[in-house]
Amino acid sequence: MKFKIKKNSTYVIAEIGNNHEGSFYRAKKMIDLVAKTGANAVKFQTFKTDKFIKNNQKKNFLKKFEISYENFEKLKDYSHKNKLNFISTPLDIESAKFLGKICDAIKISSGDNNFLKLIEICLEFNKSLIISMGFLNHYETEKTINKIIKLFPFNKISKKISFLHCVSSYPVNYKNANLKRITYLKQRWPKLSFGYSDHTIGIEACLAAKMLGAEIIEKHFTLDKNFSNFRDHALSADVKDMKNIVSGIKKIEQMTSKYSKLLSNDENKNKKIVRRHPFAAKDLKIGEKIDLNNVKFLRPEKSLVPINPEFFIGRKLKKNISINSLIKKSDII
């Protein structure tokens, strides 16, 4: 399946990551559920533990989460069967070369956004690349993006790479989410694609990021936020949350799709009821000039074609009008 971000829409990635905890069948079940949320893609992490981590205690913990290359191929096929793009993050070069053969897009983790050799290898696959920008301050972000741009011609980079604003805390405190960074990045590099990788609790940050122009939203996904003591479950979206993220984004897209304004049928209907019309405050005689002393401007009892109140002020009547009667446009000279 082709990875594509549609113009004026936001691409939603449900990051399963390692929340499958090494179970191929749990991973399949999670794909089934993501397909029901309306998200565009699932994302995993692919690794050979021995090839990317030295710490023995953590190595033993992560080893349990490994899924074989063979099973990742099956998960890719299962994702496509469910009309979902298949994306994964390689945590070692061998896994990157494997993913280059099967993924619709490849994601570089925040931990590796300074590992230019890995990025360079992934770019050679001619796949779309998504790079998280966690662990980088303002200066380091500028330096990293400019380095990546120099790896390939700019026109190729702008079509193939998306950068995700990310704060690599688990979870992220709301005050540290720094979502205005998305606006800055889009203004700084207007021809590049920017999005948001969320680690806050809840879905509000995802919707706020959409409002600030994020073209991609990535949110961790879980079967159950209390599934185990593995860190990522608690900050993940469950099925209900992911549905609300997708539906919320679609609503925002509907509400922000146009710069101009045309009145809807409902607004036109209400306009005819709400706009004020002139009514005689007393019995008025032919030739009498209309002013605020002898006319009151009221909302009509029934729907009428609106006329600006200023149109009547200072005009003379060409017929007698009894008190409380509507003064029509045809009643004045």
Q: Which domains does the chain have, with CATH numbers?
A: 11-255 (3.20.20.70), 265-331 (3.90.1210.10)
State the pLDDT at residue 59. Answer: 76
Residue linked to tokens 């990025």: 119
Q: Could you give the CA distance from residue 246 to residue 301 in angstroms, rounded to a whole number? A: 43
Asked, as a colleague might, if the bond just before 190 is cis with ω within 30 of 0, I would say no
Check: CB of residue 85 under 8 Å from CB of residue 1. Answer: yes
Q: Could you give the CA distance from residue 164 to residue 134 in angstroms, rounded to a whole number? A: 8
Check: CB of residue 200 under 8 Å from CB of residue 171. Answer: yes
Q: Could you give the CA distance from residue 320 to residue 297 in angstroms, rounded to a whole number? A: 18
Global pTM value: 0.87
Q: What is the DSSP string of 126-192?
A: T-EEEEE-TT--HHHHHHHHHHHHHHS-HHHHHHHEEEEEE---SSPPGGG--THHHHHHHHHSTTS
Check: CB of residue 258 under 8 Å from CB of residue 303. Answer: no
Amino acid identity of 118? L
Q: Could you give the CA distance from residue 214 to residue 210 in angstroms, rounded to a whole number? A: 5
pLDDT in tens, the chain (333 residues): 889 888 889 999 999 999 999 999 999 999 999 999 999 999 999 999 989 888 776 778 889 999 999 999 999 999 999 999 999 999 999 999 999 999 999 999 999 999 999 999 998 898 999 999 999 999 999 999 999 888 776 666 666 899 999 999 999 999 999 999 999 999 999 989 999 999 999 999 999 999 999 999 999 999 999 999 999 999 999 999 999 999 999 999 999 988 888 889 999 999 998 999 999 999 999 999 999 999 999 998 888 888 888 999 999 999 999 999 999 999 999
Q: Could you give the CA distance from residue 268 to residue 271 in angstroms, rounded to a whole number? A: 5
